[in-house]
Amino acid sequence: MKLILLGAPGAGKGTQAETISKELGIPSISTGNILREAIKNGTPTGQKAKRLMDQGQLVPDDVILDIVRERVARADCQNGFILDGVPRTVAQAEGLERLGVCIDRVVSIEIEDAVIEQRMTGRRVCGVCGASYHVTANPPRQDGICDLCGGELVVRKDDKPETVRQRLTVYHNQTEALKGFYENLGKLRLVEGNQPIEAVHRDIMNALR
Ligand code: ADP
Ligand code: ZN
């Protein structure tokens, strides 16, 4: 299964990708997490990406495509993978096709901006492995600590309300058009995102059949 999870920032892609990844035994690839890791390590890619990400802007398509090309070539992607948060532009989707990365299914998690703006204030992410939590909707077992790796949970820099609004604008201007792109290929399925995490998960699994 080669799956793309589409949706606005905060729609729940990372949360869902984590469970699907465990259930299907395929890796979840988050370009956001890979870039945040690169920023932490001060790599050239990280330095290029940092300012853009802090402003809620997209990182250039060629940088993203390089990351994906390298990542999906690894052995653990042989039986499939989940792309979480990539592609973000039609140019990236076309780039994936050119690279010969063939996608089986694209699931768009649908949700209103107002719900997202509320949600994002409660998001906490693991500073070590990138896992996503919510202070009320999906709290960790122990306050401030990642269930998966014991890392410290932090507020993402781009989760400030102004930055969230900017990211939503970017989503509507640049990413949402991907729905038409994959609809034309017959690969798109829509799932209601404004419901409990388990219900979203169930709907996604049904959309994969
Ligand atoms: P994305 O990867 O799409 O940016 P996340 O998976 O990080 O989104 O989810 C954004 C925030 O919303 C997180 O704090 C997450 O715990 C929370 N969340 C995810 N899915 C739901 C849901 N169905 N209901 C309530 N909160 C959710
Ligand atoms: Zn962790």
Ligand 1 mutation pick, 6, 21, 82, 123, max ligand atoms within 8 A of CB: 123
Rounded distance from Cα 99 to ligand 1 centre (Å) = 30
pLDDT at res. 75? 96
Q: How far apart are the first and last CA of the chain?
A: 10
On whether the pTM is more than 0.75, the answer is: yes
Query: Two tokens at 59?
Result: 């990182």
Residues labelled catalytic: 13, 88, 123, 156, 167
Compute the Cα dihedral for 125, 127, 131, 135 and give only its sign: negative
Query: Can you list the positions of beta strands (E) in 85-183?
Result: 105-110, 123-126, 132-134, 153-154
What ligand is nearest to the CA atom of residue 82? 1
Query: Whole-angstrom Cα distance, residue 78 to residue 133?
Result: 29
Q: How far is the CA of 99 from the centre of ligand 2 (A)?
A: 31
What mean pLDDT comes out for the span 96-112?
96
Tell me the pLDDT band of 208, cut-offs 50, 70 and 90. Answer: very high
Of the pLDDT bands very low, low, confident and very high (cuts 50, 70, 90), residue 1 is very high
- pLDDT for 44 equals 92
User: How many angstroms does the Cα of residue 14 sit away from the middle of ligand 2?
Assistant: 13
Mind listing the pLDDT tens digit for each residue in 41-91? 999 999 999 999 988 899 999 999 999 999 999 999 999 999 998 999 999
Amino acid 36: pLDDT: 93
* Secondary structure class of 124 (helix, strand, coil): strand
Average pLDDT over residues 90-109: 96
Structure confidence by residue, pLDDT tens digits, 147-204: 999 999 999 989 999 999 999 999 999 999 999 999 999 999 999 999 999 999 999 9
Mean pLDDT, rounded, of the chain: 95
pLDDT at site 186: 97
